Amino acid sequence: MNVIKKICIIGTGFSGICMGIKLKEAGIEDFVLLEKSGEVGGTWRENTYPGAECDVPSALYSYSFEPYPFWEYKWSHQPQILEYLKHCTKKHDLYSHIHFNRKMVSAKFLEDNGSWVIETVDGMRYESQILISAVGQLHHPSIPKIEGQDKFKGISFHSANWNHSISLKGKKVGVIGNAASAIQFIPQITKEAGSVSIFQRSANWMFPKFDRPYKEWEKKLARIFPSFLKLYRFTIWLKMELLLYMLMGNNKLFKKFGESITINYINKIIKNGELKKKLIPDYRIGAKRILFSDNYYETLNNKNIEVIVDSINRITQKGVVTSNNEEKELDVIIYATGFKTNPFLYQMDVKGLGGKSIHETWSSGAEAYLGIMTAGFPNLFMMYGPNTNLGHSSIVIMIESQTSYIIQCIKTIQDKNLKYMDVKKVVQDAYNVSIQKRLKSKAWNTVSKSWYKVGNRITNNWPGRTIEYIKQTKHLNLESYLLYYRQ
């Protein structure tokens, strides 16, 4: 069965919903959103582990055009973020544009008529002039290959695919990984597990959140005076822009100050001297994402929890064997090992001009002009694409900028009756040389392994402030593109 639409958007997380809303505001109704699941929400639908919450304050982790005076906490929890996305979808009448349970597996560009043919896993076929990828970077769980893991007789799962059917009460639980997800669910599972063993590869630089529920008068004030909420959002954004200067640059004073926050936090909470040593990172602050938590360190003081820094040698039927040949017997193994962020467009077969695969084009690491468009793949626009991830602020800011820019491109295609537009390779190359040059001086480049990197190239992160990206994407420069007109 063929479905023909002017625009096809893949995904209904923050990116896809934002694009749908803004297309309707621009008077464009001929579009469809393909969603692999049965509901909107993206990563906030998928990640339902205990304690799941955002590491960006609620007021900033929401659309600027859709402020929400009903947040319960300063840092939102997963159920309410999902509720917010459903609210936005319903309010702006997007559900009628969404085709649920349609997982895209391939997309091929037809040069003769300037359109994309998209196929889904269930055999549906869509044809559209414009294809927008809004699939994000954090939705394919990554489980490292460890010798013997298939022999484990207990229960194992990834934190992004939480097994809610089992009880952890009284069980011996092993957690492999200790980053953003782990520091949120470990304090929750420790309340009922018999024991929790954390297998830590590296420590984290961590700041306290100072989270709390909003008071009723604060929520009422935000409802009565929307300008108050906008001002509050602005102050949070400004603080996070300043955080970038403090942590990502080479100012030794700022670096020391940032590191002292974590070290003082550890010294204040942790009682055991050996444990303190395990929790202090051996890399410079900012090289990996700084984490925020009010209860992780406190949880580590519990008698039923231990932090193991010896590397994992193998997994047996009974548990995990570390490099010192000690076996830790376990009933449950939880992988808190992040996501497959590279390659971009993972598990999607995308072919552009001449049938060239985007994964071949990106064999040395993904790159795109403004993180939005890659040469040789006309009318394909990406949201949250290469080098647009942030280490200091809300990705929603980048998403809104990308949405505005892509709509400028769509209007150009319509107004000029273009068959397609394609970014010039020379423009893309110059842009990415500049990006990589800036990234070389950043803290992210001081570690050899990171989900931000492919080889020696940082493919995920934006090197500057969000205000820079906002300015770069504010106006469409047609001189950067090849324009192909219909005959």
CATH number at residue 454: 3.50.50.60
Query: Would you say 109 and 116 are in contact if contact means Cβ atoms under 8 Å apart?
Result: yes
In a domain, 351, yes or no: yes
Identify the pLDDT of residue 448.
65
- The residue among 241 and 453 whose pLDDT is bigger is 241
Average pLDDT over residues 166-194: 97
Identify the pLDDT of residue 254.
84
Query: Would you say 85 and 35 are in contact if contact means Cβ atoms under 8 Å apart?
Result: no
309, 414: one domain: no
Q: Decide if pLDDT at 71 tops 60.
A: yes
Q: Decide if pLDDT at 11 tops 80.
A: yes
Identify the pLDDT of residue 247.
67
294, 417: one domain: no
In a domain, 419, yes or no: yes
409, 299: one domain: no
Specify the long-range contacts of residues 359-365, CB closer than 8 Å, at least 24 apart: 364/454, 364/455, 364/457, 365/454, 365/455, 365/457, 365/459
Average pLDDT over residues 101-121: 96
DSSP-assigned letters across all residues of 9-55: EE--SHHHHHHHHHHHHTT---EEEE-SSSSS-THHHH---TT-B-S
Q: Decide if pLDDT at 249 tops 80.
A: no
For 446-469, how does the pLDDT look when each residue is reduced to its tens digit (9 = 90+)? 776 776 767 778 888 999 999 999
Distance in angstroms (rounded) separating the CA atoms of residues 21 and 99: 16
167, 315: one domain: yes
380, 419: one domain: yes
Q: Which of 314, 335, 356 is the last residue of a domain?
A: 335
Query: Would you say 176 and 335 are in contact if contact means Cβ atoms under 8 Å apart?
Result: yes
**Number of separate domains in the chain:** 2
Range(s) of the domain holding residue 189: 149-212+261-335
**pTM beyond 0.75, yes or no:** yes
Indicate the SS3 state at residue 433. Answer: helix
Which amino acid is present at 478? L
Query: Would you say 347 and 328 are in contact if contact means Cβ atoms under 8 Å apart?
Result: no
282, 380: one domain: no
Distance in angstroms (rounded) separating the CA atoms of residues 440 and 289: 17
398, 286: one domain: no
In a domain, 244, yes or no: no
Distance in angstroms (rounded) separating the CA atoms of residues 195 and 299: 12
Question: How does the average pLDDT of the chain come out, rounded?
Answer: 94
Average pLDDT over residues 291-307: 97
CA angle, corner 89, sides to 87 and 90, nearest 5?
65
Identify the pLDDT of residue 211.
96
Q: Decide if pLDDT at 442 tops 90.
A: no
Q: Is 199 left (phi over 0), alpha (psi -120 to 50) or beta?
A: beta
Tokens 């962020």 -> residue: 341
Q: Taking Cα atoms as reference points, which of 87, 71, 397 lies closest to residue 221? A: 71
Q: Decide if pLDDT at 86 tops 60.
A: yes
Identify the pLDDT of residue 245.
66
186, 323: one domain: yes
For 352-400, how does the pLDDT look when each residue is reduced to its tens digit (9 = 90+)? 999 999 999 998 889 999 999 999 999 999 999 999 999 889 999 999 9
Q: Which of 335, 368, 396 is the last residue of a domain?
A: 335
pLDDT band at 1 (very low <50, low <70, confident <90, very high): low
Distance in angstroms (rounded) separating the CA atoms of residues 45 and 158: 15
In a domain, 83, yes or no: no
Q: Which of 335, 357, 386 is the last residue of a domain?
A: 335
Quote the strand ranges of 21-147, DSSP E: 31-34, 98-99, 104-110, 115-120, 125-128, 130-133
Distance in angstroms (rounded) separating the CA atoms of residues 35 and 10: 7
